Amino acid sequence: MKILVPTDGSKYAEEALAIAADLVKTKGGELCLISVAPAIEEFELEFSAGSRENISREFAARAAKIIEKGAAAAAAAGVKVTCKSETSAASIPDAIVEYAEKEAVDLIVMGTRGLSPSSRFRMGSVASKVVRHAPCSVYVVKKKV
Phi/psi for 142 (5° steps) reads -110, 120
- Residue range 52-63, pLDDT digits in tens: 778 888 988 999
Q: What is the pLDDT of residue 114?
A: 59
Ordered domains of the chain (ranges, CATH)? 2-141 (3.40.50.620)
- Residue range 120-144, pLDDT digits in tens: 444 468 999 999 999 999 999 986 6
Burial 110-120 (b: 16+ CB within 10 A, else e): bbbbbeeeeee
- Residue range 31-77, pLDDT digits in tens: 999 999 888 765 556 666 667 778 888 988 999 999 999 999 999 99
109 contacts 97 by C-beta, under 8 angstroms: no
